[in-house]
Every structure is written in C-alpha cells, then in structure tokens.
Amino acid sequence: MRYRRLFIKRMLCISCLFPVLLSCANSSSSASTSSPAGTSTTVVPSSPPEWKKCGDIECASISVPFNYASPELGSFTLPLTRLRALDDDLRQGVLLVNPGGPGAPGSSLAQNAAYYFSKDLMTHFDIVGWDPRGTGASTPAFDCGDSYNDFFANERTVASTQKFVDTCKAKNPEIISYMSTAASARDMNTIRLALGEEKISYFGFSYGSTLGATWATLFPDTVQGAVFDASATPNSTSAERRLTQAEGFEKQLTAFLAQCSKNSSCAFHNNGKAEQAFDDLLATEATANATVVLTATASSLYDDSAWEDLAQALKSAQDGNGQPLRDLYNSYYYQDAGYEDSRNVSEASIATICDDESQRMSTAEVDAQLISFTRVAPRFGNFFGRDYTCSLWPTQKSSQEQLKISSTAAIVVIGSTNDPVTPLASSQSMSAALQNSRFISVSSSRHTSYLKNSCATQLVDAFLIQGTMPPSNSQC
C-alpha cells in the first residue's frame, strides 16, 4: 500500500507544491500566449497512431502543433500509451486519463492502471494516457535545467526569480508561449480524432479536472462522460487559488500538529507541545531551511496516511538529522533516483500556470497581498504568497485569450470535505460551472477520493459504464 500511496500522491499533486505552491489547477484557463493557440482551429491527424507492444501495454506517439492557429510554427510529439479493455465484448470505448499537474506526464497511467482505476473500468474501457505538451517524454520538453536547489530550496526574491525565468526563456525559446491548458485541451481533441472515436470518456485528477473542464468547454459534443476528482475553483486567478490553498494547508497542518500533541504515540509528540516544536524547527533552520521544511511538510499533508512518515521526519530533524525532510523535499521534485524522465515537472508546471494567467500582478502587488496570506496562514502564508514567477514571466499577458469554464457535457465532480489542496467549496464551484454535472461530497481529509472511498468509486463506475448519473448532491 505504501507504493500505491506514494505513487498517487506524487503523480496527482506534483505542481501544487512549487514553494509558492502554485496551483493544482489553473482554472482561469486561457488560450496560449503570443499568437494565441486558443482558437477553434482543429488539426486532423494525417494518419492514426502506429501502436506497438510495450510490455503489457501498447505505445505510440502523435504530433500536435505548437499553435493550432499557425501549425507551420512547429509541433510537439506526444507519447501515448494504451491498455486495451480487458473484455472486448464489453468494451465501451476510450477512457482518456490525466493524473494531475500541470506538468506531470500521464503516459504511465496505462501501465499502472490498476493503481488508479477499478477493474470494472479497466474491463469496459481502453485506458489511454499521454504526456501533455512539454512534459515527460514529449518533445520538445520544457526544461529550465537541473540546479533545483538554487531556486526551489530557498525563499523567493525578485532577483532569484528573474534569474530562473531568464533561464527558462533561454532554454525554451520555441515553446515557452505554447504551454497553456487550452492548447493541451485541443491536443486531447486531436488524440480523439487520431483514435478514430466520435466521443471519448475522460477521468482527470486534481489539475486534470481543470484540463478536462477546458476540453469539455471547447468540445462538449465529443464528451461521452467525464469525471473530475478534486477541482480548483474555475475562472479564478492563481493568487485566489493560492490563497485558498494556503488556508487549506494551514488548517491541515494545525490538525496534524494537534493530533501529534494529543497522541503520545506520535513521533513528534514533544510532551504535548508539537505546535511549538514545529515553530521552533522553522525558526532555527538548524538541519534544513524553512523552505525545505515547509515543502516537505506540505507534500505530506495531501493525505493523512502520510502523517506518520512526516512525524518521523520532523522528529529526526529535531534530533539533528535533516536528511528525512530533505528526502521528502527531493522526492517531491523528482530529484531521487529512478525519476530522471520526470525532473522537468516543476518547470512545465510553472510554464502552464503562467501561460494561463491573464491577470498577472506586478512584483509590488505580490508583496502588498502577502498580509492577506499570513492572516489566514501564519506558517504557510509567505510560502504560498511570495510568488513572483508569473509577474516576471516573459510571455505577453495582453495577448492571452480568456476562456471561461462552462459546459453542457455530462460530468461528475468529486470533492473531499477536508481536502487542503482543492477544498470542498472549490470542487463545488467547479460543479456549479458545469450545467449538466452532478456533485459527490466525500467525508475525507485526502486529496482525491476515487478508489479511496468505495461509495464514490461505485457512483463513478456506474456513471462511466452505465451512464447513470449520481443522485443530486450525493454524500459518501
């Protein structure tokens, strides 16, 4: 179970923690930048994907233009993977799947389908994953270099952010303007066309909800059915979403520390004074600086099953060994062994978020709004609020085309009552923006609910397989 927990946590939530915890969902989805890729232009693939055997699954690739309005500018090559339906006689089509992000590759979902989806879904659908533009093994990939600690492990300053942004621009001149959610949503339609399907089903976790909602807004008639598990508030700014997240993580951290103070079995019990011990650890920075401590801590708050490991890591740091916290930090940024192909996740995430953001604040405005962050999140406020990246991003916000999330497609949205990343109200707002959706509320402190809650899993499977919409405002 540990592998499944860590695998899902890492893949679903990867972008939510860029020490400015950028956002698990860029819900103000715009079209691309420069010359916007956000037109209704459709590019029909010249030929279907050439599938080949890749272990237990099939793999292929597809080309999509940088800019759908100007295909001659160049193209991305996106890896595709497919696990065929387990029963050909029961097959109901394609389930396109996305693990979250933005910035996270999704081609591994077919190979690891059993960790994400029920056997019923695998029986009835071809599970198709892909690496979105600029991510994972797609080419060209958005990559700003390997010196993560120079930027990610330290408190943000305007100067350090400008240096990072300049590096990103220098290393990705061709594609920096073409990483938007809207462009990626159009890639989904190109994938559908390449597969020869009139309609497809979709399952998106976390940011995958925003991507799916953008696709359903642009191409509602191609949606057979869609499920969004844990959504950010649609049509909001990144600052608004980060403020919501700061408050959510602060509440989750408070709950974790209160539990540690109450239970003597908690490794970070500290004679019932876990809260003070945590604050002391942040203040002294004896074994790890505050940014590393907060990154490691927040990365463990998505799911309360990770709290025990977090408590052990904090206790080790308190005892003079900061390596467990640094391991959590490195794991979050894919800096540990075995994840070399995913080490551009954070850069791709930033590129997408900033390309999506049409209401960018100046650096002075970022500083001015910090007080609102620290008011709702004394520990996490600066961590979430001090984000100069999109303020300094080199693409032109004036050329971005706003896309308001709204769709008549059949969609089910799931939200958890105590999700710190995408709070219940955020998922409810997503459902409200989708005219033909149903909402499932899950009593849980975890980010995402499918396969973690049997009630929600059964309702989702009935919807995707039988087309049975859940009762209005279902509670699990």
Find how far residue 359's CA is from the centre of its chain: 20
Q: How large is the average pLDDT for residues 78-83?
A: 98
pTM of the model: 0.89
- At residue 9, the pLDDT reads 41
CA dihedral of residues 262, 268, 269, 273 (deg, nearest 10): -90
- At residue 46, the pLDDT reads 61
The per-residue pLDDT for range 233-290, each reduced to its tens digit, is 898 888 888 999 999 999 999 999 999 999 999 999 999 999 999 999 999 876 778 8
Which pLDDT band holds residue 369 (cuts at 50, 70, 90)?
Answer: very high
Q: What count of other Cβ atoms lies within 10 Å of the Cβ of residue 73?
A: 16
Asked if 344 and 352 count as a contact pair (C-beta separation under 8 A), the reply is no
Q: Which residues pair with 79 in a beta bridge?
A: 61
- At residue 459, the pLDDT reads 98
Cα–Cα distance measured from residue 306 to residue 5, given in angstroms and rounded to the nearest whole number: 8
Which pLDDT band holds residue 398 (cuts at 50, 70, 90)?
Answer: very low
- Is residue 406 predicted with pLDDT exceeding 50? yes
Tell the residue number behind the tokens 């009593």, with chain if given. Answer: 443
- Domain positions in the chain: 239-332
How do 126-130 and 200-205 pair as beta strands?
Answer: unpaired
The per-residue pLDDT for range 122-152, each reduced to its tens digit, is 999 999 999 999 999 999 999 998 766 677 7
Q: Which stretch of 250-259, 346-355, 375-384, 392-401 has the lowest confidence by average pLDDT? A: 392-401
- At residue 331, the pLDDT reads 81
Cα–Cα distance measured from residue 155 to residue 146, given in angstroms and rounded to the nearest whole number: 18
Cα–Cα distance measured from residue 21 to residue 208, given in angstroms and rounded to the nearest whole number: 17
Which pLDDT band holds residue 334 (cuts at 50, 70, 90)?
Answer: low
Which pLDDT band holds residue 31 (cuts at 50, 70, 90)?
Answer: very low
Q: Which two tokens stand for residue 131?
A: 């690496």
- At residue 420, the pLDDT reads 87
In 3D, which of 297, 292, 356, 322 has the Cα closest to residue 148?
292
- Is residue 25 predicted with pLDDT exceeding 60? no
**Cα–Cα distances in Å, from 396 out to 81, 107, 474?**
34, 31, 42
**Backbone CA torsion sign across 345, 346, 350, 356:** positive
- Is residue 22 predicted with pLDDT exceeding 80? no
Cα–Cα distance measured from residue 448 to residue 204, given in angstroms and rounded to the nearest whole number: 10
Q: How many CA atoms lie within 13 A of 354 on its CB side?
A: 25
